Amino acid sequence: MKALQISPHVYWVGAIDWNLRDFHGYATTRGTTYNAYLVLGKKPTLIDTVKKAFYPEMLSRIKSVIDPKQIEIIVSNHAEMDHSGALEQAVADFEPSAVYASAMGVKNLIAQLHPSFEIKAVKTGDKIDLGDDTLSFVEARMLHWPDSMLAYLEKENVLFTNDVFGMHLATSKLFDDENDENIWMQEARKYYANIILPYSDIVMRFLAQVQQMGLSPKIIAPDHGFVWRKDPSSIVKLYGEFAAQKPTNKAVIVYDTMWGSTEKMAQAIADGLRQNGTTVQLMSMHACHRSDVITELLDAGAILVGTPVLNSNIYPAMADVLCYLKGLKKKNLIGAAFGSYGWNGAPIDGVTKMLEEMGVEIVSQALKCCFVPDENMLTQCEELGKLVSQKLAEKLN
Ligand code: FEO
């Protein structure tokens, strides 16, 4: 397998994981890449490694341009196993003179690898002389782990951003301008919603910091997806928009159903929302994945959550998606709960409480239906949809 050149002295030596379909709970329907980069200068330097199982692919690509023993420096920008999984093997085989990570990276790599080799800590502003270029570091704490860091190759103007500005997209096309924008835009949104969203305030501060530092990279090289060469500023701009979490006139109805009653309620609520001009995305957890729900919520202004009651509890699939959404901390949502029950409607009120705990502004108490909705109940559902639409319009104006 061959290394691919991305700039005069930088080669992509990563791996493509065409078959990955689950990244800790996130449905990676288009697979992913684990990008590693080799800077070929006076001091050959490897930026990140790959997931452990993909080490042979990375090694083969490195060998296509250099004897791996010539690698003097390895930088580990992030201690998550999709990037650091092959680090131990790489150090054993290449015997570099130094391995660098952020201070938190050193701590986390020690806890993961229990290494016999030394890892040196670097911080924002630190520089390493590579002989014919300089590598400097920018810590990116909580984007998305405490150890996350970026590395910047100064003369060549390449910013290695690890998880930041990436996407889970397996592609043989290495650059932004070679990939279909309709596809990458979907995957960029999905990646932000599922990985970066809880840290949106930090993203805002980070983007301001990068601007203050005057960084204007010619190439942005993330560790997932492709390399941004035509217009690196496009993904930076998108991050600013995603992080703002500006609501639109769109509602997402997330529900599951046992015998069809909660589904009938969901459809009547959707009808009420549409009548008042709100765009609706109806998402049955029979048909949709939790990671697609949060992606749809990225630009939404309202969430309605419907659940049947099973064994005095909410439906298992609803517990799953609510737990997932809670962790991702989407802001700027209004909402309400609804659902069908047989003899104990209290768990549906519990969903209202869960939404409150997620920071959702509740616009109505839970709408509960005993068994099967009649015309009167369906009218109440429609009215709930209209109410949410009205409250959303007030918020947007
Ligand atoms: Fe791509 Fe946080 O790992």
**Tokens standing for residue 239:** 């991050």
Look at residue 184 and tell me if it is in a domain. Answer: yes
- Look up the domain containing 197 and give its range: 4-243
Question: Is the overall model pTM greater than 0.95, yes or no?
Answer: yes
Same domain, 191 and 312: no
Same domain, 239 and 287: no
> CATH code at 366?
3.40.50.360
Cβ pair 78, 148 in contact under 8 A? yes
Q: Is residue 394 part of a domain?
A: no
Same domain, 237 and 275: no
Nearest CA to ligand 1 atom 1: 163
294 lies in some domain:
yes
Largest CA distance in the chain: 78
Residue 165, in any domain of the structure: yes
End-to-end Cα, the chain, rounded Å:
56
> Please, are residues 125 and 137 in contact by the beta-carbon 8 Å criterion?
yes
Q: Are 242 and 254 in contact (CB under 8 A)?
A: no
Is 60 among the domain residues? yes
Question: 395 lies in a domain?
Answer: no
Taking the C-alpha atoms of residue 108 and residue 95, their distance in angstroms, rounded to an integer, is: 21
- Nearest protein CA to atom 3 of ligand 1, as residue: 80
**Which amino acid is located at 346 in the chain?**
A
Q: How many CB atoms lie within 10 A of CB 226?
A: 24
269 lies in the same domain as 127: no
Q: Are 178 and 116 contained in the same domain?
A: yes
Question: Residue 397 domain-assigned?
Answer: no
Q: Which helix (H) or strand (E) holds 309?
A: strand 309-310
Query: Into how many domains does the chain fold?
Result: 2
Tens of pLDDT along the chain (397 residues)?
999 999 999 999 999 999 999 999 999 999 999 999 999 999 999 999 999 999 999 999 999 999 999 999 999 999 999 999 999 999 999 999 999 999 999 999 999 999 999 999 999 999 999 999 999 999 999 999 999 999 999 999 999 999 999 999 999 999 999 999 999 999 999 999 999 999 999 999 999 998 898 888 999 999 999 999 999 999 999 999 999 999 999 999 999 999 999 999 999 999 999 999 999 999 999 999 999 999 999 999 999 999 999 999 999 999 999 999 999 999 999 999 999 999 999 999 999 999 999 999 999 999 999 999 999 999 999 999 999 999 999 999 9
Positions marked active-site: 24, 78, 80, 82, 144, 163, 191, 224
Q: Are residues 114 and 19 in the same domain?
A: yes
Say if 393 falls within a structural domain.
Answer: no
238/335 same-domain check: no
**Cα–Cα distance for residue pair 175/125, rounded to 1 Å:** 28
**Ligand 1: residue whose CA is nearest its atom 2:** 80
- CA distances (Å), 264 to each of 16, 95, 305, 373, 387, in order? 43, 64, 13, 7, 18
CA of 195 to the centre of ligand 1 (A): 9
List the CATH number of the domain containing 22.
3.60.15.10
